Structure 1
Amino acid sequence: RELILEKARAAWRSRRLGAALRRLLPVLEWLPRYSPRTQLLGDVISGLLVGIVAIPQSISYSLLANQDPIYGIYTNFFCSIIYAFTATSRHACVGSFGVLCLMVGQSVTRHLQMAGYGDGSTSLGDNSSSTWNGTEACDRSCYAITVALSLSFLVGLYQILLGVLRLGFVAVYLSEPLLGGFVTGSSLTIITSQMKYLLGLNIPRHNGVGSFVLTWVDIFRYIHNTNICDLVTSLVALAIIVPVKELNDRYKERMKAPFPIELLVVIVATVISHYFDFQQRYGVDVCGHIPTGFRAPTVPDFSLFPSLALDALPIAVIGFAMTVSLAEIFAKKHGYTVRANQEMIAIGLCNLIPSFFYCFASSAALTKTLLKESTGSQTQVSGLVTSLVLLLVLLWISPLFYALQTSILGVVTIVNLRGGLRKFRDTPRMWQLSKLDTVVWWATMLCSTLVTTEIGLLVGVCFALLCIIFRTQRPRATLLGKVSDREIYEDQAAYKQLSSIANVKIFRFEGSLYYANKDYFKAVLYQKTGVNPVLLAARTDTQPGGSRGCLGTGRGCLKQGRSRSRSRAEKPAGDARPPCTDMHTLILDCGAMQFIDTVGLSVLKETHQDYEEIGVQVLLANCNPSIRQRLREG
C-alpha cells in the first residue's frame, strides 16, 4: 500500500512539474505538434526576410540607444531565441524597438554625463575594441553598455514580477489613444535626435526637460557646419527608401515579400563610402570597427540599480504593453489565444537573460511583426531562422560595415517612424468619435515631445484616468418617453413622436451613482423634471394626505405604491408640461447603474424623502442584482 501511494505521489509530482514547465516554456506544447510539411516553408521564408530587415535596424537602433552597433545585433539575436521558447504568440517579433531605444539612450546619456564621459558626441565604434579583451579600464563605450545592460536587467525583473503576480491588467490603463500619442511624441523626439547625423553635425545630445527644443536650437545654431557629403547621402537615401517602402505598403497584397530596400541601400552606401574613402576625404562619421564573435558573459553593475530603478519602470511598462497588445491583435486575427501573463514573463526573460550578454532593453516591434505575419510565418520557428541570419552577421559579416555612414543609419531609423507620424492624419476622425480621447492623445504627444518621454507617459496615464473620472462624474441624463404600442422607452430629446405618461416622469441616469457625482445627480434630476422638492417644500406646505412613494428595495426593486390617479392616459411628448404639482410619480431608471456606493445610497434616500414631502412617490426600475443587494442592505 505504501509503495502504491509513493508511486502515485511521484507521478503526481512529475505531472505538476511537467505542467509547470509547459506553462513556462510553451515551446514544449506546440513543437511536438509541429508539421514541417505545412509550416516549415512559411517559417523559413518569413525568418529570412525578417533577419534581412533586422540587420540595418539593429545597427541603426544601436545609434539611437547610444551604443556600439554590435550590441544591437546581440540584442536581436538573443531575444529572437528566448522569445521563441517562452512566448505563446506565434507571430510577434521581439527585438530592438525605436521608442525603447530612445528611452534607453536617454538614460545612458544621463549616466555618461554623471560619470564625466562628456556629451556623447563621439562617433560609434571609436571605443568598441578598447575593452574587447577586458584588460583595459572601462572607457566610454564600456560604461555605456554597462549602464544599458544593467537597465535591461531591471526592466526584465520588473516584467517577470508583473507576470508572476498576474498583474497583466495594468496594461488596460494604457489606452490606445495614450499609446498612440506616446509613440507619436517619441517618434518626433527620435527624428530630432537623428537630425544631427543626417546633417553631419557634432552637437551634444540633450536630455531632460526641453531636450526637443534645445536640440533644434543647437541644430540651427550650427547649421553652417553641415557636412555636405552627409547631407547629400541622406537626401539620396531618403529619396530611394521612402518611395520603395510606400510601394511595398501599397502592393503588399500582391507581393509575396516586400523588397528589402533598407538592406540594399546600406550595402550600396557602405561600398561607395569605402571605395571613395568618405571618412578621410570628407570627414564623415562611420560605424567603425564592428568585432565578430561573442563576448564572455558579464553581470550587471549592482551599484547602478538605485539610479536606474526609476528609469526602468516606464520602459518595462511600455515594453510589455506593446508586446501584449501586438500578441493579442494577431492571435485574434489568426484564431488562437495568448496568455497575457506568460507574454509578460517571456518579454521579461528576453530582457533579463540577454543582459548578461551585453544587450539592451527590447520588446515586440510593430514593423517586424507585420512583416513576419505577412510573409507566411506559422510559428516561432521563424524567430529561430531570424537568429541564424543574425548569427552569420555576428560571426563573419559585421566587419564589412566599417565604412557605413552614421547618416545612413539615421535615415533608416527615421524611415521606420512613418507609422507613428501618420497618426496625425487620424486626429480629425478621432475628434469626431471622442473629444476626450483626442485630448488624451494630444496631451500625451505634446508632453512626450516637449518635456520628456517618461513624464509624457505619466501625464498621459493621469490624463486618461481623469477622463474616466470625468465621464463617470458627469454622465448623460435623460427623460424617457414610450414608443407607441411597445413597452420600450427612449430619450425624448433624441426621438420624435414618443408619448409620455400623464403626471409621471421617467428619469434615466446613464452612469453609476457614487460620491463624485452625487451633486450632479441631484442637479440634473431637478433640471430634467422641473421639480426641485427642496425649494418647493420651503415655499409651500406639504399637502396632508398626499401620495407617499416608496423606495423599492424588495425583490422586484420597482415596488408598486399608491398614486393619486391610476389613469395611464398618454399624450404626445411635445405637448406642454403639466404643472409641477401635478407630477405624482418619479421613476428612476437604474439600468445603466453598474454600482452604487454608500454616498449614492444616501442620495437615493434623500431624493425619496424630499419628493415624498411634496407628495411625489419615487420608484426604482431596472436595478441589477448588485444594486438590489445594496438597497436591501442599506
Structure 2
Amino acid sequence: MILCYAIGVATALTFLAGVYQVLMGIFHLGFVSMYLSEPVLDGFATGASVTILTAQVKYLVGIKIPRAQGYGVLITTWVNIFSNISQANVCDVITSTICITVLVTAKELGDRYKDRLKVPLPTELIVIVMATLVSHYGQLKEMYGSSVSGEIPTGFIPPQVPSLTLMQRVAVDALPLAIVGFAFTISLSEMFAKKYAYTVKANQEMFAIGFCNIIPAFFHCFATSAALAKSLVKASTGCQTQVSSLVSAVVVLLVLLFFAPLFFSLQKCVLACIIIVSLRGALRKFKDLPQRYRLDRVDALVWCVTMLSSALISTEMGLLVGVVFSILCIIGRTQRPHAALLGQIENTVFYEDEEEYTNLLPVPRVKIFRFEAPLYYANKDFFLKCLHNKTGFDPTIEIARRKKAKKKGQPNSHKGLEHGDTGLSLVTKPRDIQAIIIDCSSIPFLDTAGVSALKETFKDHQEWKVTVLLACCSPCVIASLERGGYSASANKNMHELVFHNIHSAVQFVKERKTTADDSVV
C-alpha cells in the first residue's frame, strides 16, 4: 500500500512538472538560461562530477554504507567511507583497478589516434561483457563476496492516469521540481553545445522536457532531466546524434524485457568504473583554474563558488548559488567600476587612460573623466566620488570651506566674482580647472538617479565657473538626458552640453577661452 502511494505521488509530481515546463515554454521563460554563464556551467559540472565520483567510491571498494541525503552529502559520504574502509572487498578493489586502468588507457589512446579511427572503440561494452563472464564463471560473489547487480526484474507496470487528488496535494512541490529539472537540462545542454559547436533554444528545450515528463507520467515514470553521468558516458563513447538515444532506448527495452537476467553476475564496481572514467573531462577543469584566474579573477571566483556549493551543499543548490553569486558579481562590478582621467595621444584626436598608457599629453585646464559602467541609482555616489577624486576638485567641500571662512571673517585666497542677491562677494575658484569633460562612451544607459547626478554635477561646478561637458553619448543616453530635462536645468541647448567626441568638446572649451580672452582685451 505504501509503495503504491509513493508511486502515485511520484507520477503526479512528474505530470505536473511537465505541465509547468510546457507552460514556461509557452510564455517564453527560457530566457533564464542566459544567466547560466560559462563559469557557472563549468563550476556546476565539476562540482556535480565530484559528487557523482564520491557516490561511486563505495562500489569501487565494495563497502556498504547508508545512502546520504540532503545537504552535505559529499562530506557525509566520505566520513562513512573512511569509517568503514576496513570492510573493503579485495576482489572489488582489484577489479576496479583493472577496469579503470583499461578504460583510461583506451580513452587516452582513442583521443591520441582519433583521426585514424573511423569508428570509436566500444571499450565500455567490451569491459561489461568480459567482466560479466569473469564474474559468472569465476563465481566472484560466492567465493569472495563481491557485490553484483543481482536480479533485475523484467516487464512493465500497466499504464495508469495520474491521480487528480494527489496532483492537488503536490501542485506547489512540483514547481521547484520543474525549474530545477529545466536548469539541469539547459546547463548541460549549454555545456555540450559549447563543446560541439551548436546552439540551444531554451524554449524549445522547455517543451521537450515538459512532454518527456507528461507522457511518461502515465507509465509510472519519475521526473526526468539531463543526467551528467549518463551524458558524459555517451559523449565519451563518441555519440553525437539522436540515433544514439534511439539505440540506447532499444537496448534498454531489450534489457527490461529479455536480457536483464544475463547481467545478474555483473559487479557493481565495473559500472562505477565506467561512470568515474567518463567524469575525467569535467574533472580536468581543475587544471584550467590558474589560467581562468589570470584571465578574469571574478570569473574564477564564480567558478570556485559554484563548484564548492555544488559539491559541498547539493547539486541543485549549487546551481542556484552559482547563478545568484554571478548576478551579484555583475552588480558589484557596476557599483564600483573603473574610472580614469584621459590624456591626449600626441598629434591625434584620440584620448586614452593616463594610468594605462604613457607619453599622453594633458589638456591644459581641462579634466577628461571616463566612467566605465551604466550610471544608475546604485553607483551614482561612487561616480561623484571618483569624479571629485580624479579631478581634485569637490564643489561640496569648497562650499563648506567658504562658509567656514565667512563665519571666521577670513577673506578667500583665490579671486573670483559671484553675483548674488546681497551684492558682490569673493568666491574660491580652482585655478587649474576650466572645464570637465565626461566621456560617456562606456555608459550604456542612465536612470533617473543617473540623470540627477549629472544635473547636480553641472549645477555644482557651474557655481565655481567650471564648465561640465558630455562627450560620446549613445542615443539611449541622450534620450534619457532629454527626458530628464538635463539641458533645461542648465539653461542651455543640448548641442552646447553634449558632443559627438572628446576632441570636439576640447576644441569647444579652447574656443570659448580664446573668445573670453579677446573680449577682456
Q: Same fold (TM over 0.5)?
A: yes
CA contact (8 A) 2:232 2:279 kept: no
Is the 1:480–1:490 contact (alpha carbons within 8 Å) kept by the matching residues of 2?
A: yes
* Offset at residue 292 of structure 1 (A): 3.9
1:607 equivalent in alignment to 2:470: no
Render the CA deviation track for 1:76-110: whole Å, top value 9, x for unaligned: xxxxxxxxxxxxxxxxxxxxxxxxxxxxxxxxxxx
What is aligned with 2:232?
367
Instruction: Provide, for residues 11-58 of structure 1, a one-character-per-residue CA deviation record: whole Å limited to 9, x for no partner.
Output: xxxxxxxxxxxxxxxxxxxxxxxxxxxxxxxxxxxxxxxxxxxxxxxx
Quick one: structure 1 residues 311 and 432, their matched pair in 2 at CA, closer, same or farther if it must change by over 3 Å? same
Q: What residue is the counterpart of 2:444 in the other structure? A: 594
CA distance 1:180–1:329, change in 2 (3 Å): closer
Q: 1:184, CA displacement in angstroms?
A: 1.2
Give the Cα–Cα distance (whole angstroms) in 2 for the partners of residues 305 and 209 of structure 1. 24
- Contact kept, 8 Å, 1:507 with 1:587, in 2: the verdict is yes
2:342 and 2:370 in contact (8 A); partners too: yes
Distance in 1 (CA, whole Å) between partners of 2:2 and 2:114 is: 47
Q: Secondary structure, in 3 states, of the residue corresponding to 2:379?
A: helix
Aligned-pair distance for 1:607?
0.8
Which amino acid counterpart does residue 236 of structure 1 have in structure 2? I
1:157-172 mapped onto 2 (5 Å cutoff): 157-172=19-34
Distance 1:375 1:307 in 2: 35
Partner of 1:270 in structure 2? 132
Q: Aligned-residue CA RMSD in angstroms?
A: 2.8
> Secondary structure in 2 aligned to 1:582?
coil
Calculate the TM-score normalised by the size of structure 1: 0.67
1:439 equivalent in structure 2: 301
Q: What residue is the counterpart of 2:218 in the other structure?
A: 356
Map of 2:467 onto structure 1? 617
> In the TM superposition, what is the alpha-carbon distance from 1:512 to its structure 2 partner?
0.6
What does residue 466 of structure 1 align with? Answer: 328
Residue 383 of structure 1 and its aligned partner are, at CA, apart by: 4.3
Alpha-carbon shift at residue 367 of structure 1 (Å): 3.3
Query: Matches of 1:436 and 1:313 in 2, distance apart?
Result: 27
Aligned residues: 458
Distance verdict in 2 for CA 1:344–1:307, change over 3 Å: closer
Q: Distance in 2 between matches of 1:147 and 1:274?
A: 39
What pairs up with 1:47-86 in 2 under 5 angstroms?
A: none
Q: Which is further off, 623-632 or 428-437?
A: 623-632
| Counterpart pick for 2:351 among 489, 509, 514 | 489
Match of 1:422 in 2: 284
Q: CA deviation at 1:591?
A: 1.1
SS in 1 for 2:151: coil
| 1:275 Cα deviation after fit | 1.4
Q: Deviations over 1:597-620 (max 9, x none)?
A: 111111111111111111101011
Change (3 A) 1:157 1:284: farther
Distance in 2 of aligned mates of 1:398 and 1:356: 23
Seen in structure 2, the aligned counterparts of structure 1 residues 143 and 229 have a Cα distance that, compared at 3 Å, is farther
**1:138 CA displacement:** 5.7
Aligned to 2:182: 316
Q: Which runs of 5+ in 1 are unaligned?
A: 1-136, 548-578
- What is the aligned partner in structure 2 of residue 501 from structure 1? 363
Instruction: State the Cα distance separating 1:174 from its structure 2 match.
Output: 1.4
* Alignment check: 8 A CA contact 1:257 1:375 kept: no
Q: Give 1:558's aligned residue.
A: none
How far did residue 545 of structure 1 move?
A: 4.9
Distance, in Å, in 2 between the alignment partners of 1:270 and 1:299 is 39
- What SS class does the counterpart of residue 501 from structure 1 fall into? coil
Pick closer, same or farther for the CA change 1:341–1:315 going to 2, 3 Å: closer
Structure 2: segments with no counterpart, 5+ residues = 403-411, 420-428, 485-521
The match for 1:234 is 96
- The one of the two structures with greater contact order (alpha-carbon pairs below 8 A, sep at least 6) is 1
How far apart in 2 are the matches of 1:383 and 1:165? Answer: 29
What does 1:184-195 align with in structure 2 at a 5 Å threshold? 184-195=46-57
Aligned to 2:385: 523
| Separation (CA, whole Å) in 1 of partners of 2:20 and 2:211 | 10
Q: Which residue of 2 aligns with 1:457?
A: 319
Aligned-pair identity in percent equals 48
Partner Cα separation in structure 2 for residue 483 and residue 369 of structure 1: 56
**Counterparts of residues 137-156 of structure 1 (less than 5 Å):** 137=1, 139=3, 151-156=13-18
Q: Distance in 2 between matches of 1:168 and 1:440?
A: 22
Matching of residue 344 in structure 1 with residue 194 in structure 2? no
Structure 1 residue 498: Cα displacement: 1.8
Report deviation, 1:321: 3.1
Give yes or no for contact 2:339–2:386 (8 Å, CA) kept in 1. Answer: yes
Partner of 2:268: 406
